[in-house]
Chains A and B, each alone.
Chain A
Amino acid sequence: MTPANPKLKNRIGESLSGSQIIWEALVREGVEVCFGYPGGAIMPAYDAMIQYPIHHVLTRHEQGASHMADGYARASGQVGVCIATSGPGATNLVTGIATAMLDSIPMVCITGQVPSQLIGSDAFQETDITGCTIPVTKHNYLVTEPEQIAPTIREAFYIARSGRPGPVVVDITKDAQQKSCVFEWSDEEIVLPGYRPDYAPLAEQLDEAVDLIKNAKRPILFSGYGIIKSQATETLKKFIETTNIPVACTLLGLGGFPATHPRNLGMMGMHGETWVNKAIQDADLIIAVGMRFDDRVTGNLKTYAQNAKKIHIELDPAEINKNVRVDVPIVGDAREVLEALMPRVENCDRPDWLAYIDEIKGGSAVRDIKNLPDLGKLYAAHVIHDLYRFTEGKALVVTDVGQHQMWEAQYYKHDYPRKLLTSGGLGTMGFALPAAIGAKFAEPDESVWVICGDGGFQMTAAELSTCAQEGIKVNVAIINNGFLGMVRQWQQFFYGGRYVATPLLSPDFVKLADAHGLTGLRVEKRSEVEAAVRTAEATQGTVVIDFRVEQEDSVYPMVPAGADLHNMIERPGKPGGSEHNPIFETGKDD
C-alpha cells in the first residue's frame, strides 16, 4: 500500500492546515515530483510545500505541467501529478487532461479554487473546473473542507491508477487549504460502492476463444497499449512463441511486443505498413488485446476485416462492440487473460500464412525510403532511422504530432515497453517537449529524445526554459520541414495542393537554444546526422538539433480517412520506375 517515506514525520492526529494535508497525502501516495504553476487560489498549498520532501518543477505554462505529469506517468507507470491555480491556471491544464484521458494515463491534477463562500459569484479567477472537466476526466472532485482533503486525494489516486487508468481532478477551495483540522490517514483498502475496476474473464468466453484460436488458419494478434499497461510483454512473447501468430501493433502499442521479433509485423492503421493492413483484411481471426478499434486503425468499418472472427480482450466493458462487432469479448486485464489462455493454446507453425505475409511484405519493402542511397538530401525518415541506429534503439523517445510522429513509428524500432511516448488518442501538438521533461524526471538514467515538428515544437517551446532552470537533459530533434507537414500532406492529397495556412516561419532554433543557455546544432545533410546525434548524447544539458529536412515529403503508405484499410496510397515510384518522386532525384551532396 502506501510506501512509508522515511523523510516524512508522522503527523497523524495533529492539527494541520488543509495545505499541509495536501502534501501529507501526496507524499503518502508516493509522490516525489510534481509539476505546476502557482497563483492566488493555490498559494496556501505552495506555501506549505517547502515542508515536504517533494520536488516541484515550475513549468512555463500549465499545459506543460499537465503534459509533464502525463509523460512522467507514461514513462514510469506511476501516477503523475500536476498542480495549478484556479481559473486560467486550471483551464490551461485542460488540453493535457484531455490528452491523458484519451490515452488512459493515470494522473492527479490538484487545482486551487476560489474560497467556498465565493463559488458561483463569478469571483476573480473563478472557473467551474469540475464542470469543465467532467467529459475529460475519469472522475473529479470539488473539496471545500479540510477534513475531505486526505480521503479525497487517496481516492483520486486509487481511481487514477486502478482499472482503466485516467486523469482525476481535485479542485480545492482556498479556505479549505487555509483552515485546519486533525490530520487522519487510513491505509485500508478503498471500497467505492459504485466503482468496479477489476473484471475476471468468464470461463465460457475463454473456452470460445481457445476454440477460435485452435481452428484459425490465418490469425493475427493486435497488441495495444493495454499490453504495456498490464505489463504483459513477457506473457505475450510466450503466447506468440507457442502459437506463432503474427502480431500487429497500434501506435500506442509499439514496444509492447519487440519490434525486431520475427513475428512482429509492425504498425497497423492509417500509416501502418501495407502488409500489416493487408494481413488484417485477409485474416480469419483477430485477437485484439488492449486496444479499442479507433477509426485511425480500422478505416472504413463496412469493409474492415470482414473474413475475420474477432476476439476482443479489453479491460473496459464500454469498449466492447463500440466500433467493431466482436464474436468473443473477454473483459479483463490483458496479462491475466493471456496467462489464462496460455496453457490452453497449441504449438503451431502456420507455414502457409506466414509465407503469404512474407510475400506481401517483400513487395512493399522495395519502396522503403530507408533502403535508398544517400542522394545528398535529408529526409525525415533518414534522420529517424539514423537516430534509431546511433542510439541503438535504446532511447526513450517522445514524439509530437504530425508527419515526424508517423515516421518515428515506422523507423524507430522499439523493442521495449514505455520507450515510446506519444499522444495517440487526442493527437496533441505541443505534447512532446513537456512530456519528455516529465519522462526524464521519472527515468533520469534514460537517454530521452524528443522528436517533434517545427510546428508542434513552437507550441510549447517555452519549456526549454524549464529544462535550463531544472538543469535536466533531454535531446530535442526538430524535424524542420518549414510546414505544418501533416496538414500540408492532406492539402496535397485531398485539397488540390492548396497550401493554406501551413507554410511556417520559425525562429533560428540554434539561436533559441543558445538564448536559453542550451546547446543548439543544425543538420542539413545526411552525412552530418551521426555526428550531431553523438554530440547531443555527449553534451551536458539539453540539446536542440534543427534537422532541415525535405519540405514536401509525405508519409506513406496512407489509408485516407474513412477509406478501406486495404486501399492504401503507397509511396509513388521506385528505383528504375518512371513516376516522379523527389526522393528519387539524383542530387548533389553540396
Chain B
Amino acid sequence: MSQSVKRTFAVFVEDKPGVLNRVASLFRRRSFNIDSLNVGATHEAGVSRMTIVCDADEDKAKRIEANLYKMVNVLWVDDITHKQSINRVLALIKVNCNREQRDEVLKICDVFRARAIDMSPDRVTIEITGPQDKVEGLVSVLRPFGILELVQTGTVAMTRGVEKHELAHPTVPASRNSAA
C-alpha cells in the first residue's frame, strides 16, 4: 500500500440539478473523506468544474477516479495531485485590532500579500488568496490578535499547462483501463 496523501481532483460534470448531491453521496457512501469540495461554472456552457481535495493512497485514488467516472453526469476526472498546478483558497479573516495594533497587522498583510478590505476602530477584515498553507500561515500569525470570524473557500486548482479536455466527448484516460 502506498502512502495516503492529500489529493486534488479536477472533476468536470454536467451542470444539472442534483449532480453535487450525487458526487457528495458517492464520497460519503464509499467512505472517501472529503477535505474540501468546490464547484462552479466553467467557460463551457452546461459544464461545471469541481475541485475535490481528499486523503487517499494511490489505490484509493484510482478507485475514486473510477467511481466518479461511473456516474453518468461526470464528464472528466483529472487527478492533478502530482501535476504542476496552481491551488488557491480564498479566506476572509476578521481580527481584533485597535489603533496601536493596526500598523503591525497591515505589515503582516503585506508580507502575506493579503489585503485589508474593511476596518473599524477596533477590528479589521482581511482577504487573502493563496495555497492552503499560506492561508494557514497568516491565520496563525493573526491568532494572537484574536480572530473574531473566519471563512474560507475550498481549494480551486488548475494545472499549469494547457490541458485540452474535450468536454463534449471526453476520451477515456489510460488510467481508467490500467488501474494497477
A residues near B, CB below 8 A? 130-131, 134-135, 138-139, 142, 159, 191-196, 199, 201-202, 205, 316-318, 320-322, 325-329, 331
Contact = CB atoms under 8 A, between A and B. Distances in A.
Contacts of B75: 193-194
Contacts of B178: 202, 205, 329
A340 to B, nearest CB: 14
Contacts of B160: none
A194 B14 CA distance: 8
A111 to B, nearest CB: 16
Contacts of A317: 66, 69, 176-177, 179
A564 B13 CA distance: 42
Contact of A135 (B29, B63, B168, B179): B29
Nearest to A155: B72
Contacts of A159: 72
A134 B22 contact: yes
B70 A318 contact: yes
Task: Report the 6 A-B pairs with minimum CB-CB distance, sorted nearest first.
Answer: A318-B66, A320-B179, A317-B66, A194-B75, A139-B72, A318-B67
B25 to A, nearest CB: 5
A192 B167 CA distance: 12
B18 A130 contact: yes
Contacts of B17: 142
Interface in B8-36: 13-14, 17-18, 21-22, 25, 29
Nearest to B170: A193
A199 B59 contact: no
A322 B63 CA distance: 7
B71 A329 contact: no
A202 B177 CA distance: 7
B15 to A, nearest CB: 12
Contacts of A130: 18
A134 B23 CA distance: 10
A331 B22 contact: no
A321 B62 contact: yes
Contacts of A202: 177-178
Interface string B64-94: 0011011111110000000000000000000
Nearest to B71: A194
Contact of B176 (A139, A321, A331): A331
A320 B66 CA distance: 9
Contacts of A201: 177
Contacts of B179: 317, 320-321, 329, 331
A317 B49 CA distance: 23
12 contacts: A138-B72, A139-B72, A142-B18, A193-B75, A201-B177, A317-B66, A317-B177, A317-B179, A320-B62, A320-B180, A321-B62, A321-B63
Interface string B31-56: 00000000000000000000000000
Interface of chain A, main secondary structure: loop
Contacts of A325: 59
A135 B25 contact: yes
Contacts of B59: 321, 325
A331 B177 contact: yes
Contacts of A193: 14, 75, 167-170
A71 to B, nearest CB: 25
Contacts of B71: 139, 194
A196 B180 contact: no
A195 B167 CA distance: 12
Given A195-B72, A318-B70, A325-B59, 4 more contacts: A142-B17, A193-B167, A196-B172, A326-B180
B176 A199 contact: yes
A362 B74 CA distance: 53
Most interface-central of A142, A193, A205 (chain B CB within 10 A): A193
B98 to A, nearest CB: 48
Contacts of A322: 63
Contacts of B170: 193-194
A13 B176 CA distance: 42
A320 to B, nearest CB: 4
A194 B70 CA distance: 9
Nearest to A130: B18
A170 to B, nearest CB: 13
A23 B149 CA distance: 57
A196 B25 contact: no
Contact of B180 (A131, A195, A329): A329
Given A135-B25, A196-B69, A321 B74 contact: no
Nearest to A326: B180
Nearest to A330: B177
Contacts of A195: 72
Contact of B63 (A134, A205, A318, A326): A318
Contacts of B13: 194
A142 B17 CA distance: 10
A159 B72 CA distance: 9
A134 B62 contact: no
Contact of A321 (B70, B73, B168, B180): B180
Contacts of B66: 316-318, 320
Contacts of A205: 177-178
Contacts of B72: 138-139, 159, 192, 194-195
A192 B59 CA distance: 28
Contacts of A327: 180
Contacts of A192: 72
Nearest to A204: B178
B20 to A, nearest CB: 11
Given A316-B70, A325-B59, A199 B14 contact: no
B1 to A, nearest CB: 9
B146 to A, nearest CB: 42
B177 A199 contact: yes
Interface string B90-121: 00000000000000000000000000000000
A195 B72 CA distance: 5
Contacts of B25: 134-135
Most interface-central of A142, A327, A329 (chain B CB within 10 A): A329
A322 B172 CA distance: 20
B21 A194 contact: no
Contacts of A138: 72
B164 to A, nearest CB: 15
Contacts of B21: 131, 134
Given A130-B18, A139-B72, A199 B172 contact: yes
B3 to A, nearest CB: 16
A419 B75 CA distance: 38
A195 B70 CA distance: 7
A510 B25 CA distance: 47
B61 to A, nearest CB: 11
A550 B63 CA distance: 46
Nearest to B18: A130
A331 B176 CA distance: 9
A322 B177 CA distance: 14
